[in-house]
Chains A and B, each alone.
Chain A
Amino acid sequence: MEAYEKVLAARAKGRPTAIEYINNIFTDFQELHGDRRYGDDGAIIGGIGRLCGMPVTVIAQEKGSSTKDKIARNFGSPNPEGYRKALRLMKQAEKFRRPVICFVDTSGAYPGMGAEERGQGLAIAENLMEMGTLKTPVISILIGEGGSGGALALAVSDEVWMMENSIYSVISPEGCASILWRDAKKVKEASECLRLTADDLYEMGVIERIIPESDKDFSAAYLLLQTWLKKAVDDRKGISTDELLEKRYERFRKFGAR
């Protein structure tokens, strides 16, 4: 499949959103709202549930399904309070020694006036800084769009996985095309240049796993995710916190020039 087809697939109408992953992978899920500072951001869902019986904290970007729901969730583009809610719940997970599972699906952090007034840059920066030393295992899965810093703010993790038809990029293909060729319509070319498919990222060593998808039924993918998540968490049970954090540091330290 060409890169641009992957972009379309990642954004396709009817593609499962985070809620469906949560409902199919975890049990006893209780949603927890609010950042305790300003408000509750519908673009990010957080809560506690069980992964094969074990309590875990789940944080997910949710684009919404119906039109009304999409608007309420700002089409999955978080405001600062969303990132601050995520960080609050991660700190809570650390306190109660729960692993954290993040689902990433956003075209990007919301570029609005209120977002700037409330410190969008700071909110993301704080997540990057704090996630790096969160004293509990963190696994992130890109399930649709992984749009730049707004996606990374939930993906400074021990392992990052991608669904077969998800994308992860520093800039949207449209944004890239309009900067590069001053023509937002050259998205196909831009999609190729950016190397944003799961295969590209796996090849570059930026992700650890690709989760295969079948066309219509995601139940096999959910089961696979459940199994692998359980294993990823179990594998880290015998590891000391120091070693866990050292490995996480090295995971990101190795990217790029040395």
Chain B
Amino acid sequence: MIPKGLFKKANNELEGRQVVEEFVEPTMTCPDCGFEVTASELKENHEVCLKCGHHFRMNARQRVELIADKDSFKELYAGMESDNILDFPGYDDKLRSSKAKSGENEGVIVGEAAVGGHACVMFVMEPEFMMGSMGTVVGEKITRAFELATEKRLPVLGFTVSGGARMQEGILSLMQMAKTSGAVKRHSDAGLLYIVVLTDPTTGGVTASFAMEGDIILAEPGALVGFAGPRVIEQTIRKKLPKGFQTAEFLLDHGFVDAISPRSGQRDMLINLLALHSEEV
């Protein structure tokens, strides 16, 4: 949109500068190819580099927009917020700033949605909220997502991004790994489908629980996926890791993911997979 008065001559130096500033859009540099791209161009292209196809991180709401049928996403448990249960230093501030930064109440959003007309329960983790770390609220929302899907006999479609279990909630964060895995197992034992898309980065306690428990595991190109973080491994083995270690492509090579799923065709791939599991012929 062209703002009003754009072509009007500036009355003074200050006014002139203001108009110019409004139009300098911040650019991002692609870490893979160095291409300079504006935030809006990137958004338009679903946070994928226009030149080399590098997948930038993406907010949970943007993902829902990309994947779910228009206006089909009905969010659930949106009001759940974390408390500083252990009185952990700095956690209150961290929660406050994460809320402000992400615009979300916690590190995952859950809802019922339709994808290509297929009803499902979706969970999408949020990188801007403490890098999607799993505390008690994230664990509870994901558990509820699987329990609801089991009750309604719906598939679950999940998108992971996480630094792992959330340190600030101590052992209760660790327990979420067992809790979510229990709910995934019940959903699975009921004969229902769980598709998970691993996005950059998916590590730690999330990798070691529901991220790796899908019937079908997809990963976005270049995504870092692992149990231990690369820095921890390097400190342990006192060596630099080879290029490409723990990327989605590395996992594909080693047999741990079913397919790489670039964002451009991701919705179609998911619709096809959902259709292949649909009971209607």
Chain A CB count within 10 A is highest, among B166, B167, B246, for B167
What per-residue 1/0 map shows which CB atoms of A217-258 lie under 8 Å from chain B?
A: 000000000000000000000000000000011001101111
Interface contact B88-A193, CB-CB below 8 Å: yes
CB of B199 closer than 8 Å to a CB of A: no
Interface contact A124-B227, CB-CB below 8 Å: yes
CB of A43 closer than 8 Å to a CB of B: no
Interface contact A121-B211, CB-CB below 8 Å: yes
Which of A6-14, A21-29, A49-57, A108-116 has 4 or more CB atoms under 8 Å from chain B?
A: A108-116
Interface contact A129-B173, CB-CB below 8 Å: no
Interface contact A170-B170, CB-CB below 8 Å: yes
Interface contact A194-B227, CB-CB below 8 Å: no
* A248 / chain B contacts, CB cutoff of 8 Å: 182
CB of A128 closer than 8 Å to a CB of B: yes
| Bound form: Cα–Cα A156–B182 in Å | 9
CB of B207 closer than 8 Å to a CB of A: yes
Q: How far is the CB of B208 from chain A (nearest CB, A)?
A: 4
Known contacts A109-B227, A111-B232: does B90 contact A121 (CB below 8 Å)? no
Q: Considering the complex, which residues of chain B in the window 196-234 have a beta carbon less than 8 Å from any beta carbon of chain A?
A: 204-205, 207-213, 225-229, 232-233
Main secondary structure of the interface of B (DSSP, over half): helix
Q: Which residue of B lies closest to A109 (CB)?
A: B227
* A193 / chain B contacts, CB cutoff of 8 Å: 86, 88-89, 170
Interface size class of A (residues with CB under 8 A): 35 or more
CB of A72 closer than 8 Å to a CB of B: no
CB of B261 closer than 8 Å to a CB of A: no
CB of A168 closer than 8 Å to a CB of B: yes
Interface size class of B (residues with CB under 8 A): 35 or more
Interface contact B228-A115, CB-CB below 8 Å: yes
Chain B CB count within 10 A is highest, among A112, A119, A130, A176, for A119
Interface contact B233-A113, CB-CB below 8 Å: yes
Known contacts A179-B167, A195-B86, A255-B172: does B246 contact A116 (CB below 8 Å)? yes
CB of B57 closer than 8 Å to a CB of A: no
| Bound form: Cα–Cα A169–B170 in Å | 7
Known contacts A111-B236, A129-B213: does B137 contact A257 (CB below 8 Å)? yes
Interface contact A121-B172, CB-CB below 8 Å: no
Chain B CB count within 10 A is highest, among A125, A149, A171, A206, for A125
CB of B48 closer than 8 Å to a CB of A: no
* B86 / chain A contacts, CB cutoff of 8 Å: 193-195
| Bound form: Cα–Cα A258–B147 in Å | 13
Interface contact B212-A121, CB-CB below 8 Å: yes
Chain A CB count within 10 A is highest, among B184, B185, B208, B237, for B208
Interface contact B182-A115, CB-CB below 8 Å: no
Known contacts A128-B209, A129-B184: does B237 contact A112 (CB below 8 Å)? yes
Interface contact B171-A201, CB-CB below 8 Å: yes
CB of B140 closer than 8 Å to a CB of A: yes
CB of B35 closer than 8 Å to a CB of A: no
Q: Which residue of B lies closest to A153 (CB)?
A: B208
* A194 / chain B contacts, CB cutoff of 8 Å: 86, 167, 170-171
CB of A47 closer than 8 Å to a CB of B: no
Main secondary structure of the interface of A (DSSP, over half): helix
Q: How far is the CB of B116 from chain A (nearest CB, A)?
A: 28
What per-residue 1/0 map shows which CB atoms of B110-138 lie under 8 Å from chain A?
A: 00000000000000000000000001110
| Bound form: Cα–Cα A111–B227 in Å | 8
CB of A71 closer than 8 Å to a CB of B: no
Interface contact B165-A170, CB-CB below 8 Å: yes
Q: Considering the complex, which residues of chain B in the window 3-27 have a beta carbon less than 8 Å from any beta carbon of chain A?
A: none
CB of B139 closer than 8 Å to a CB of A: yes
Q: Which residue of B lies closest to A170 (CB)?
A: B174
Q: How far is the CB of A147 from chain B (nearest CB, A)?
A: 10
Q: Which residue of A lies closest to B185 (CB)?
A: A129
Interface contact B208-A120, CB-CB below 8 Å: yes
CB of A196 closer than 8 Å to a CB of B: yes
| Bound form: Cα–Cα A110–B236 in Å | 9
* A252 / chain B contacts, CB cutoff of 8 Å: 175, 178-179, 182
Residues of A in contact with B (beta carbons under 8 Å apart): 109-113, 115-122, 124-126, 128-130, 132-133, 148-149, 152-153, 156, 168-171, 176, 179-180, 193-196, 200-201, 204, 206, 248-249, 252-253, 255-258
27 contacts between A and B (CB under 8 A): A109-B208, A111-B232, A112-B233, A112-B237, A116-B233, A116-B245, A125-B181, A125-B210, A128-B178, A128-B208, A133-B185, A149-B165, A149-B174, A149-B177, A152-B174, A171-B167, A194-B86, A194-B171, A196-B171, A204-B172, A252-B178, A252-B179, A252-B182, A256-B137, A256-B140, A257-B137, A258-B140
